[in-house]
Amino acid sequence: MEEIIFFDTTLRDGEQSPGASMTKDGKVKVAMQLEKLGVNVIEAGFPIASENDFESVKEIARTVTKSTVAGLARAKKVDIDRCGDAIKDAKKPRIHTFMSTSDIHLANQFGIDRETALKISIDAVKQAKNYCNDIEFSPMDATRTEKSYLYRVIESVIDAGATTVNIPDTVGYSTPVEFGQLIKGIKENVPNISQAIISVHCHNDLGLATANSLAAITNGARQVEGTINGIGERAGNASLEEIMMILKTRKDQMGEFKSNVNYTEIYNSSKIVESISGIMVQRNKAIVGKNAFSHESGIHQDGIIKHKSTYEIIDPRTIGIESELVLGKHSGKHAIEKRAKEIGFEIDENQMNCVFTSFKNYADNKKYVTDEELEKIIVQELGIKQNA
């Protein structure tokens, strides 16, 4: 059984979300939680970016013992030297270096030609190799790069010593079929590709980051990069928790893969990242959103009470939480009866009919009904008290 390597960039790309800057202590706390989650590689930061980033990466490298600790570096000597210094104390150090390869970037951002970019890429990998053996290279804007040139860059950096080649959809431009074909083409056209792991790093500008990552896995990628809660530049990155749970839930479609994931730590990881980054999780976010395992519709609540699989494809306990029946104007009798019993009321069918009518009238003007409000409705309607 092949393994999927989970590469978390919450502390680097995630922190580049506007307003998500984290303190050193906060970043160390997130890193420790990511290790607890079972993430294989933690991209701890961009050491050249600031003194805080350098010190954070250095401290994480000293603290983390099981996960690989990576630092990001542009294909520049000063960046790579700084990164090598930051990760030198890690038990499993990695340098991740990158250079743009699309003509759009080379012409408009760097003002250089393809041959110059290729040489810069090769030299960067060779320099990084002086600090550690685990080197990742990313051809930035790969999905808008001319394919024959992309194949040449990948082959060259592997020859130079790259052990992982990451294919980034830097601007979230690709679609699943297209991205899957790109990975397939790399496997078929890069002669030495078997000497490196293919990784993917997808952005969510068109809402396709998770789908593109899965298409890449189907076509041979074995490392997938993303962030907790999908935070990151612009519209964010692929959400690692989504990919983790899709691979677990849909083995019939995705195939069987090994991983180190401790699934019960997914929700804890989400809440810690939310707290430390200050980026709130939207209520309807897949897997970790507040509404992901909450049910208000009477039809759904009835199904959940009878058998959870009727409306839950994932057991929420798998990720470390419980499902919730939310009482509101859409709720049915079964849910109200169940909640009434849980808070200490035994109500027969006739009494329930009376309570249900009062509940509906009350709930019509409320977002949701609390336990205290339900108790008040029952007491006022029936004149009974809770069981001791």
Q: Tell me which residue has tokens 């150090």.
A: 93
Q: How many CB atoms lie within 10 A of CB 62?
A: 14
Q: Do 282 and 47 meet the contact criterion of CB atoms below 8 Å apart?
A: no
Q: Indicate the pTM of the whole model.
A: 0.91
Q: What are phi and psi of 200, to 5 degrees?
A: -135, 145
User: Any bridge partners for residue 202, and if so which?
Assistant: 169
Q: Do 60 and 27 meet the contact criterion of CB atoms below 8 Å apart?
A: yes
Determine the angle formed by the axes of helices 209-218 and 240-249, rounding to 10 degrees. 50
Name which residue leads in pLDDT, 123 or 334.
123
Query: Is pLDDT above 50 for 167?
Result: yes
Q: Identify the pLDDT of residue 386.
A: 59
Closest residue by Cα to residue 347 from 383, 305, 308, 303: 383
Joined tokens for residue 57:
């990466």
Instruction: Give the CA angle between residues 123, 85, 115 to the nearest 5°.
Output: 15
Question: What mean pLDDT is predicted for residues 158-165?
Answer: 98
Q: Identify the pLDDT of residue 314.
A: 96
CA distance 204 to 296: 30
pLDDT in tens, 170-190: 999 999 999 999 999 999 999
Q: Cβ-count burial of 284 within 10 angstroms (0-12 exposed, 13-18 middle, 19+ buried)?
A: exposed
Query: Is pLDDT above 70 for 359?
Result: yes
CA distance 111 to 107: 5
Name which residue leads in pLDDT, 292 or 385.
292
Q: Do 178 and 151 meet the contact criterion of CB atoms below 8 Å apart?
A: no
CA distance 366 to 27: 40
The residue type of 49 is A
Per cent of the chain over pLDDT 70 is 99
pLDDT in tens, 42-83: 999 999 999 999 999 999 999 999 999 999 999 999 999 999
Instruction: Give the CA angle between residues 91, 39, 221 to the nearest 5°.
Output: 105
Could you tell me the end-to-end alpha-carbon distance of the chain, in angstroms, rounded to an integer? 54
Name which residue leads in pLDDT, 366 or 81.
81
Closest residue by Cα to residue 56 from 26, 92, 14, 84: 26
pLDDT in tens, 124-151: 999 999 999 999 999 999 999 999 999 9
Q: Identify the pLDDT of residue 301.
A: 86
Least trusted range by pLDDT, from 68-72, 116-120, 225-229, 347-351 = 347-351
CA distance 57 to 46: 8
CA distance 151 to 133: 22
Determine the angle formed by the axes of helices 24-37 and 51-63, rounding to 10 degrees. 40
| Strand stretches in 159-227, DSSP E | 164-169, 197-202, 223-226
Instruction: Report the relative pairing of strands 135-140 and 197-202 from DSSP bridges.
Output: unpaired
Query: Is pLDDT above 80 for 385?
Result: no
**Domains located in the chain, CATH noted:** 5-277 (3.20.20.70), 294-382 (1.10.238)
Q: Identify the pLDDT of residue 388.
A: 47
Q: Is the dihedral of CA 274, 279, 281, 283 positive or negative?
A: positive
